[in-house]
Amino acid sequence: MVASAFAASVAESALTGPGAGGFILVRPPDGPAVVHDAFAAAPGLGPGGRRLRPEMLDAFTVPFGDAEQVFHIGPASVAVPGFYRGLFEVWEHHGRLPLSDLVQPAVALAIEGVVLSPEVSYLHTILREMLTWTPGAAAIYAPGGALLGTGDRLRMPRLAETLTELARTGCSALDVGGWLSSRLVDGLTPLGGLVTADDIAAYRVIPRTPWEVAFRGHRVLTNPPPSSGGVLIGAALATMDARPATADPIARACAMVDAGHRANGLRCEEFVERLGEPGFTDWFRERLGRGDGGSPSRGPAGTTHVSVIDADGMIASTSSSNGAGSGVVIDDLGFLLNNMLGEEDLNPGGFGRVEPGRRLTSMMAPTVILTPDGHPRVVIGSAGSNRLRSAILQTTVNILDGGMDGIDAVEAPRLHVEGGGVDVEGGVPEPVVQALDASGYALRRWGGMNLFFGGVNAVGRESTGLWGAGDPRRGGAAAAVNHRGEVIALSPRP
């Protein structure tokens, strides 16, 4: 998992990397599951600390085909990153290979370059403004003046140098006074960035107990407060679990949309304010029992997810994100920094309102599904802003309620409910569309498969063996790897 995350820093460099925040859910075969909270924190600690003002941000509109989303970027949008601290911590607790062995494949990718797939090229196209906003970013993503496209090779030699040095120095590089954190602060400050040395000194990876919910006799473990994505997925699953399972795909789809709508409605202003505070769990479960309703807001778009299961039963599910990216690359480091302070969904009280040092909330929801006797069955997570909740919910329901195999469950056309409307991906059966329309939902129909509907990556274990599924919406992939690190062909069906 750690090696895959390093490699993703190159293969999906717009979405993740040393400048990202993330969550890593790990469950060893002989111990409890733990979520390592390595998400972004609000900066501004110390005597020189400054608070964000909205006028410090630049706004850009990103088109998703039939939908749009506004993002706010620039040096002042950068929150304190923590994802690589989380990777180092997980490696220190559970790693078996030397750190240099885990970093080397990513270094080779950064030097040789990655050939851009159609899916990644499309993502870069819609994020063009962020990826060319500064000369440092443009040098990576548009080195000849034009944005690299499908079939072009994206090279990141300075990131290769950064990763090589990280492998040599280890996590001390990320500590206050460490070479990487010092360059980050020194590079950001003159540009108007808000991250201080005191922010770096105060940052810690926080171990958390996963949020747990029962669904069809299984235990679903996911990201707990102060993040909201896992809690809302759990609420939708709990709503469905209170009703009998159905073999009718139309009834099942309508029940899932209704459950998603009810869960979304729980995300009111008080929900956001109480997240992470003592007593939240009791308050939330009481609201869930009442069936309260409302309307959610949107979240960040740029997330990478990796799911891993090994022969010994060790499982890991990790989601990380740059948000939409700040547009800022510190030239001698060679990677894009996050824009978490400019994400409307992570700052529900308005920009600059989160107290320095406090964790931002997130929709990311790395998730593990255990059988009734406690064995791992599915390891799952998704990219896709607020749509990732619908993607994880629907894939889980497809497997546990619909009896689909993992690959079919990931590739099945999706529905996303928000407010009183439902986005309908191309390929959803017409009887399902008609039933939703008759239920009074405002429908927005899409012409085909689209990354708007998330990017689920999942692995699992069935009686016939292991399976893996990468979401074609975002160029996802699955592979089996032996103990020597060699990739083995993975059966297309479990």
Q: Which residues contact 353 (CB under 8 A, 6 or more apart)?
A: 347
Q: Note whether 391 and 256 are within 8 A (CB).
A: no
Q: What is the dihedral of CA 132, 133, 137, 141, to 10 degrees?
A: -10
Q: Is 303 in the active site?
A: yes
| Cβ atoms < 10 Å from Cβ of 477 | 13
DSSP notation for 41-54: B----STT-----G
Catalytic residue among 132, 303, 318, 367: 303
Mapped onto helix, strand or coil, the DSSP state of residue 469 is strand
What's the Rg (C-alpha) of the chain? 21
- Residue 161 corresponds to which tokens in the numbers above? 């140098």
Q: Which residue has the tokens 């700052």?
A: 347
In whole angstroms, what is the distance from residue 338 CA to residue 44 CA?
Answer: 16
In whole angstroms, what is the distance from residue 411 CA to residue 91 CA?
Answer: 32
Q: Which of 3, 101, 12 is nearest to 320 (CA)?
A: 12
Q: Is 442 left (phi over 0), alpha (psi -120 to 50) or beta?
A: beta
Q: Which residues contact 354 (CB under 8 A, 6 or more apart)?
A: 42, 341, 346, 347, 360
CA 44, chain centre distance (Å):
25
Q: Note whether 37 and 205 are within 8 A (CB).
A: yes
Q: Dihedrals φ, ψ of 15, to 5°?
A: -105, -25
DSSP state of 281: H
- Residue 437 corresponds to which tokens in the numbers above? 């329309």
Q: Which of 43, 75, 84, 77 is nearest to 174 (CA)?
A: 84
How far is the first Cα of the chain from the last one, in angstroms, to the nearest whole number? 21
Q: Note whether 123 and 474 are within 8 A (CB).
A: yes
Helices (H), 339-405: 387-400
In whole angstroms, what is the distance from residue 159 CA to residue 177 CA?
Answer: 20
Q: E strands along 205-296, which residues?
A: 206-208, 211-215, 218-222
Positions marked catalytic = 303
